[in-house]
Amino acid sequence: MALNTSVMLQRNKVAVAIVGATGRLGNEMAREFLSPGFRPYFSTVSCLTRDTSAPIAASLAELGADIRPVDLEQIESLKVALKGADAVVNALGPAVGKDVLDNVADAAAAVGAKVYFPSEFGSDIRLNDFPGWEHPVWAKKRAHFERAKEIAPGKMKVIALYTGAILEFTLAPRTGYDFANKKFTALGSPDTPIAFTSTQDIGRTLAQLSILCTSSADTRNSIPEIVRVAGTQVSVKQIAEIMGKESGDTIEVESVHLKEFKEELRKTYVSTGVKGAAFPDFVRILIGEGKYDFSTNDNELVNAKESVWVWKSMQQYAKETKGKGASV
């Protein structure tokens, strides 16, 4: 259902607000809304931040963003900052409490936003299988999504965007990609497909969904409440080949027993709580279980036949990083 350029330009322009726009992911999202390819479709791109003097805020302002101060703890402050928004993107990070996330959704509904995107952008959490020991970040996201849908049913569309692994954030030692020692470690089969989506493509998807959901009530109602996209799908073995080709290194790929790893993490979580159980290890388990295989996705909904943009591939990312992956 991706609209072509001529149709998009005939629509009323959209006012979008991005909460957490000076964060690592929020900044990249905002830059896509402000990019030449999407800026003509938005009347305003408001970037909400607690620190309007931050260098990132200044750089977004130079691109044409409307920088708005906000106190996330105060719903009245959020209402003022979100005033006039048709679409609200919640880009707040995992450290933010559920009460703050709920404040954003409440304020979005109060100002009459037509669509709200909660802070997801990762796993399809419906597939999680950690009975009694799920990481609290996911429990918080799930509870917030369900609550947001109850605030203004029929008036404010709530869409959870699942993107698989974020391309620029994932290929690092904490997730099994040890570039320094030229060794990648998979949980289970190294041939399991993994969905990756770049920060640019996440921003573009949000921009396109914002346009679609504000174009008409019928179009908005036709968009599912869960949207899954995958910019590229590759396995650990394929990543090693792609990165090695670009860097000139031979990268070893090893496999670790998935069930044993999962049981050890469960024991750690039960005995020490979240402090002893690293979040990336939960993600690695989901990847090993095939739950980051987004072969079934909504790419065509937002970018039919890549008519709006070309998804970033692992090969392109390898060239950008000279085969060395994430910097953090």
- CB-side exposure of 92: number of CA atoms within 13 Å? 26
**Residues of the chain predicted below pLDDT 70:** 1-11, 327-328
- Is the CB of residue 128 less than 8 Å from the CB of residue 262? no
Domain residue ranges of the chain, discontinuous segments joined by +: 5-321
pLDDT confidence of residue 1 = 45
CATH superfamily of 5-321: NAD(P)-binding Rossmann-like Domain (3.40.50.720)
- Is the CB of residue 203 less than 8 Å from the CB of residue 28? yes
SS3 192: coil
pLDDT confidence of residue 317 = 96
- Is the CB of residue 290 less than 8 Å from the CB of residue 171? no
Q: What share of the chain is helix, strand, coil (3-state, %, to 5)?
A: 45, 15, 35
pLDDT confidence of residue 132 = 92
pLDDT confidence of residue 49 = 92
State residue 176 phi and psi, 5-degree precision. Answer: 100, 5
Residue showing tokens 């692994």: 165
Q: The whole model's pTM is what?
A: 0.93
pLDDT confidence of residue 220 = 86
Give the integer Cα–Cα distance in Å for 203 and 171. Answer: 20
pLDDT confidence of residue 11 = 60
